[in-house]
Amino acid sequence: MNPTTIFARATGTGRAAIAVLRLSGPATADMLRTLCGILPEPRRASLRALRHGSDLLDHALVLWFPGPRSYTGEDGAELHLHAGPAVVEAVAEALVSLGARPAEPGEFSRRAFSNGRIDLLEAEGVADLVEAETQAQRRQALQQADGALSRLYDGWAQRLRVLLAHQEALIDFPDEDLPPEIEAALARDTALLAEEMRAHLLTGAQGERIRDGLVVAIVGPPNVGKSSLLNRLAGRDAAMVSDIAGTTRDAIEVRLVLADLPVTLIDTAGIRDSEDPLEREGVRRALRHAEHADLVLRVACPGAGMEPEPRVPDDIRVWNKTDLAPAPEGWIGVSAQTGAGLDVLRERLAAEMRRLTDLAGAAPLTRARHRAGISEALEHLDTAPHLDLPELRGEALRLAMQALGRLTGRIGVEDLLDTVFNQFCIGK
């Protein structure tokens, strides 16, 4: 059955000069002929009057992409319109009356996937590229969209295929005089592959931090200036400041970009013993945030009790209110009031964040889906050597291969496609 021809606005809906409608599907050529009179030259921007019946809709730049040399692999087109909502609406209505329907989120990329233009990992990379807000996210997304993870996983699947062939040779000729080295080599190569996967799993910590952002919690006793510090770092008055101890009850989160990386700064309730149930809950949450954060800023100041809670070595110790008294040895001295020392603190934070996201050039896994797939493959590889029967060892290798195949989408993923593509925005 022919797929329906779909269309969507590919550009944003804010006030703008140009709006791009993209089309994909077998009726594209007919629709262009109806709207423009003739088909424009392939892949060249042509200025055309768009008409529907007697109605002149717009003067637009029109691009015609005959399949399979198109993003989706189907016939496709782009209409670069004047962005007035009434213009876009008129053209959309004309397309619907010609048999097209609005696309679902991610439907263009889903068709590109179905037509073998991109695999699932590349599609996810494209989705991340569309969402990228920081330069680190852009680089990582582009790398994945360009197939870096696909090549890695395909390479592993290929090695597994060879191992499986050797394993099957052992099954088919059990009494044959296969050199005993084969069995040993198989075990060794399987273990080697498993080690590479284990190392790759570790990159997920960095990859997911780059994609989702790092969490930095600001903790310490009441009134040391945690909220003041958050406001300084955020560059705006996000959290309330007062000289009343226990001002911040629930955590306050601010998103910002530091060292090209997305970071969520969390201001937490001042940690102290309190009878007030609300404040106690605030303290409980503060401790939980500190525990789950990628980095913790431990704040203290003159006169405040120091380090009532256990301190983790990676914590950054910040001494606030240096306008009142200098910082002791081993603390970064700042004044949230005057701004003194803030640059040093930002640089230290940036350095720690770079350390937590450093990949030394490796392509990291970037999603829980990847972590789950690699973990599954790894489990099978780790089990294989402990199975007595060569048939079972072969089956374990096959299952590991399948887990990798589901990551690229090369095998058995129908059930998974909705989850992956529904996360896309419309028009992608």
Ligand X SMILES: Nc1nc2c(c(=O)[nH]1)N(C=O)[C@@H](CNc1ccc(C(=O)N[C@@H](CCC(=O)O)C(=O)O)cc1)CN2
Ligand Y SMILES: Nc1nc2c(ncn2[C@@H]2O[C@H](COP(=O)(O)OP(=O)(O)OP(=O)(O)O)[C@@H](O)[C@H]2O)c(=O)[nH]1
Which residues here bind ligand Y, judged by CB under 6 A?
222-228, 241-243, 245-248, 269-270, 320-321, 323-324, 335-337
323 contact, one of K ion, ligand Y, ligand X, none, CB 5-8 Å limit per kind: ligand Y
Spell out the alpha helix ranges (H) of 26-147: 28-36, 85-97, 107-114, 120-131, 135-145
**Residue from 112, 134, 10 nearest 67 by CA:** 112
Q: Is 335 annotated as a binding residue?
A: no
Asked if 248 and 269 count as a contact pair (C-beta separation under 8 A), the reply is yes
Q: What one-letter code names the amino acid at 166? A: H
320 contact, one of ligand Y, K ion, ligand X, none, CB 5-8 Å limit per kind: ligand Y
All residues at 6 or more sequence positions from 253 whose CB lies less than 8 Å from its CB, including other chains: 264, 265, 266, 267
247 binds K ion (CB under 5 A): yes
Q: Which pair of tokens denotes residue 120?
A: 């699932």
- In the complex, least distance from residue 243 CB atom to K ion, rounded to whole angstroms: 6
d(CA 362, CA 356): 14
9 contact, one of ligand X, ligand Y, K ion, none, CB 5-8 Å limit per kind: none
d(CA 339, CA 415): 54
| Residue whose CB is less far from ligand Y, 25 or 225 | 225
Q: Is 254 annotated as a binding residue?
A: no
Asked if 215 and 263 count as a contact pair (C-beta separation under 8 A), the reply is yes
Largest Cα–Cα separation, the chain: 85
Strand-pairing partners, residue 78, are 22, 63
- 202-241 positions binding ligand X, by CB under 6 A: none
Strand-pairing partners, residue 21, are 9, 79
d(CA 272, CA 170): 67
Number of residues in contact with ligand X under rule CB under 6 A: 6
Q: Is 22 annotated as a binding residue?
A: yes
The answer, yes or no, to whether the previous bond of 68 is cis (omega within 30 of 0) is yes
274 binds K ion (CB under 5 A): no
Tokens 């949450």 -> residue: 285
43 contact, one of K ion, ligand X, ligand Y, none, CB 5-8 Å limit per kind: ligand X
Q: Is 54 annotated as a binding residue?
A: no
- In the complex, least distance from residue 261 CB atom to ligand Y, rounded to whole angstroms: 24
- In the complex, least distance from residue 246 CB atom to ligand Y, rounded to whole angstroms: 5
Q: Is 243 annotated as a binding residue?
A: yes
Instruction: Candidates 240-248, 274-282, 285-293, 309-317: pick the segment binding K ion (CB under 5 A).
Output: 240-248
Between the CA of residue 156 and those of 323, 347, 378, 381, 398, what are the distances in Å? 58, 39, 11, 12, 12
| Residue whose CB is less far from K ion, 62 or 336 | 336
**Residue from 22, 40, 123, 5 nearest 79 by CA:** 22
- In the complex, least distance from residue 363 CB atom to K ion, rounded to whole angstroms: 45
Q: Is 428 annotated as a binding residue?
A: yes
- In the complex, least distance from residue 207 CB atom to ligand Y, rounded to whole angstroms: 33
| Residue whose CB is less far from ligand X, 65 or 113 | 65
| Residue whose CB is less far from ligand Y, 200 or 321 | 321
- In the complex, least distance from residue 335 CB atom to ligand Y, rounded to whole angstroms: 4
Binder of ligand X out of 33, 59, 69, 284 (CB under 6 A): 69
Q: Residue 124, Cα to own-chain centre: how many angstroms?
A: 8
24 binds ligand X (CB under 6 A): no
* 3-state SS record for 353-414: HHHHHCCCCCCCCCCHHHHHHHHHHHHHHHHHHHCCCHHHHHHHHHHHHHHHHHHHCCCCCH
65 binds ligand X (CB under 6 A): yes
Q: Is 320 annotated as a binding residue?
A: no
d(CA 307, CA 290): 13
336 contact, one of K ion, ligand Y, ligand X, none, CB 5-8 Å limit per kind: ligand Y
- In the complex, least distance from residue 225 CB atom to ligand Y, rounded to whole angstroms: 3
- In the complex, least distance from residue 254 CB atom to ligand Y, rounded to whole angstroms: 13
113 binds ligand X (CB under 6 A): no
Q: Residue with CB nearest K ion?
A: 247
d(CA 63, CA 59): 13
Binder of ligand X out of 70, 206, 231, 366 (CB under 6 A): 70
Number of residues in contact with K ion under rule CB under 5 A: 3
Q: Which residues fall in the annotated binding site for Mg(2+)?
A: 227, 248
Residues annotated within the binding site for (6S)-5-formyl-5,6,7,8-tetrahydrofolate are 22, 78, 117, 428
Binding site members: 22, 78, 117, 223-228, 242-248, 267-270, 428
Binding site members for GTP: 223-228, 242-248, 267-270
By the criterion CB under 6 A, which residues form the site for ligand X? 43, 65, 69-71, 78
